[in-house]
Chain A
Amino acid sequence: MRKPKLAVWKFASCDGCQLSLLDAEDELLAVAGAVEIANFPEASREVLPGPYQLSLVEGSITTPHDAERIQQVRSESEFLVTIGACATAGGIQALRNWADVAEFTRSVYATPEFIDTLDTSTAIADHVTVDFELRGCPINKGQLLEVVNAFLYGRRPDIPGYSVCIECKRRGTTCVMVADGTPCLGPVTQAGCGALCPAYHRGCYGCFGPAESANLPALISELRRLEVDDATLVRALRTYNAYAPEFRAASDELEVTG
């Protein structure tokens, strides 16, 4: 049987999520044995033509050129998986969506007319149909391997949508919010990191984006009780998954009422 072709695509991002594949040091050669790595420029000069059975897409759409390129990627891909917060929610660069991009450009570049950029940074799913979204900033490489495996065996990936709180309990970490009064986004953030930050005595900062049925109003009232001011709350919700609908709505509401 011919091995399925894998392609890895990059849009606006830090490279960290595709690096997760190269960081799977123990599994990399096995993956390369199970699929044909047909288009992965970070790893290989060789580019084989599509169609590709599995495309992993990193990064968000921020330029007119990329908005066209993602259409091409979609048309060449049978199964398209977005990896990481940039691809699934627009990433940290989606902070431009609340700003004047012309002003941003002027503050970074001496000759703004050289820069060709959109006013927004948006998720891949805002532009094309996405078959599966893998969250995280960065993604968890175990979850990435699960997605590749599930694809190979023709089943749905087993990626939980519950919150970081579940992982904290499982890890046996004392709740930093209840015990220490440390503000934490764990109750509204999707699991996947292994509840890292609370294990290091800091609050979760939401890098996996909103959990299933996240109750933002309940968390916000609890954080206010801990005397977190609204400006700080807005900043806390506006990081790597700022434009994920649940986080975005909550931060917009805080700005209006606050």
Chain B
Amino acid sequence: MTKRTIDVNYLARVEGEGSLSVTLDGDRITELEFGIFEPPRFFEAFLQGRHFTEVPDITARICGICPIGYQTSSVNAMEDACNTAVTPEIDALRRLIYCGEWIESHALHVFLLHAPDFLGYESAIHMAKDFPDEVEMGLRIKKIGNSIVEVVGGREIHPINTRVGGFYRAPTTRQLEALIPELEWGLDAALQTAGLVSGFTFPELDRDHLFVAMRHPDEYAIARGRVVSSRGLDITAHEYEDHFTEQHVARSNALHSLTADGQAYHVGPMARFNLNFEQLTPHAADAATRAGLAPPVTNPFRSIAVRAIEIILAFEEALRIVRHYRPPDPAAIEVTPRAGTGYGVSEAPRGLLYHRYRIDADGLIEQARIVPPTSQNQPTIEADLHDLISANLSMADDDLTWQCEQAIRNYDPCISCATHFLDLRINRG
């Protein structure tokens, strides 16, 4: 067989920088490495010695795309450590700002990062020449998500209003009601989006995935809940590290997560959809039926359609919360530090985000541990790539390379979170 090498430098349309290197010996994959070369930033180390009230602002800086995720998991952990419960009004406002982040992040991924793959464009800007209405619709959906974050949080990126115990200042009823017309437009646009993306052609890629997501008895879990799996796991955040471990591999500045018995698992929209399907909001459930999506969805290329369903859900939830809004008073519960360990989880747009902190009696951090969704999905991404390449060996290098990139983007990997460079290389021997 003629030796072939494919080099694609820098995987595009992901948040961060990673690499894929594949070596083929005939029809056999001898090496497959999805590497992350984002320079390490050592958050867990420099959090030591910081005051527990500073942590939501600091951990937000791990990721410009999902700061609400980091803020929410960290306040959940701190409130757990200090044995404090917040009011239902604060919970509702946390869910609302998180819906804003889901809408903003999912619309970014669906329209600007992933749809161009399905339609054969290098970018959404190229795509906009032929699909101007669709790209403009996507940008407006994204903007509405951002405006929710801005109204509740002060600004879209690294919002300033979230604190341990609640919020610095509750938005007024009038401020939130002003969002309603755009939220109604957004819900309608999201329904159109689901119709649009479910009509794409999805490459074959079906595997038995172990799905892991949060679950809450009252709602499609976002900002609070237990951790469950498609194989019957049902635990609190306290027990997370008994069931999941992280490994450090040479090719990566991120850590890879596996289950305690060494299996890859899958977090994010597909996991949430499959595990919490019964709790979809009415329009989201209808749209799923029309899109032909029912659990278990096992082809990760369909994640774009699942994200569209979650955008619908986030709009419905945002509308419900805004219409029933009662400003929390006080805006925050006073939290007194005490020595101990706190555990917090939340569903970032890309999946489960776990935080653990040990604090001393003065509220200073002694130890921090953060497990972002992309580290958890990395082994699953590699397994997908393995299957995809094995099944498509006859494909031309350029096409196979693009499809591998698309398969990685199925997970909307945030390499800044997991730490970033995607340098895609396929070496055929």
B-binding residues in A (CB < 8 A): 10-17, 19-20, 22-23, 25-26, 28-29, 32, 37, 40-47, 62-63, 66, 91-93, 95-96, 99, 101, 103-105, 107-111, 114-115, 117, 137-138, 193, 196-197, 199-202, 205, 207, 232, 235, 239-240
Contacts and interface: CB of A to CB of B under 8 A. Distances in A.
Contacts of A104: 42, 45-46
Contact of B63 (A12, A15, A20, A232): A15
A231 to B, nearest CB: 9
B123 interface: yes
A14 B42 contact: no
Contact of B42 (A11, A26, A47, A105): A105
Given A15-B64, A16-B65, A29-B128, A207 B158 contact: yes
Given A43-B123, A196-B160, A92 B46 contact: yes
Contacts of A11: 39
A14 B168 contact: no
24 contacts: A11-B39, A14-B63, A15-B64, A16-B157, A22-B112, A23-B146, A25-B139, A25-B142, A28-B125, A29-B125, A32-B128, A41-B17, A43-B123, A44-B12, A92-B61, A93-B46, A108-B40, A109-B40, A114-B248, A137-B158, A138-B64, A235-B51, A239-B54, A239-B58
Contacts of B290: none
Contact of B250 (A25, A95, A114): A114
A14 B61 contact: yes
Interface in B112-142: 112-113, 116, 122-126, 128, 135-136, 139-140, 142
Contacts of A17: 64, 157
B314 to A, nearest CB: 17
B157 to A, nearest CB: 4
Interface of B: 9-17, 38-46, 48, 50-51, 54, 57-58, 61-65, 67, 108, 112-113, 116, 122-126, 128, 135-136, 139-140, 142-143, 146, 154-158, 160-161, 163, 168-169, 247-250, 253, 255, 402, 405, 414, 416, 420
Interface centre among B42, B46, B51 (most CB of A within 10 A): B42
A108 B135 contact: no
Given A12-B39, A109-B255, A137 B45 contact: no
B42 A16 contact: no
Interface centre among B11, B57, B116, B157 (most CB of A within 10 A): B157
A105 to B, nearest CB: 7
A15 B57 CA distance: 16
Contacts of B113: 43
Contacts, number: 185
A42 B122 CA distance: 11
A197 B45 contact: no
A73 to B, nearest CB: 13
A11 B421 CA distance: 10
A43 B46 CA distance: 31
A108 B45 contact: yes
B146 A105 contact: no
B250 A14 contact: no
Contact of A42 (B13, B163, B249): B13
Contacts of B248: 109-111, 114
A207 to B, nearest CB: 7
Contacts of A109: 40, 248, 255
Contacts of A15: 15-16, 63-65, 414, 416, 420
Given A22-B112, A62-B41, A43 B61 contact: no
A119 to B, nearest CB: 12
Contact of B14 (A42, A117, A137): A42
A142 B57 CA distance: 22
A41 B54 CA distance: 32
Contacts of A201: 168-169
Contacts of B156: 23
A114 B286 CA distance: 49
A193 B155 contact: yes
Contacts of B405: 45
A112 B420 CA distance: 18
Contacts of A103: 45
A13 B16 CA distance: 9
Contacts of B146: 23, 25
B189 to A, nearest CB: 13
A206 to B, nearest CB: 11
A25 B150 CA distance: 14
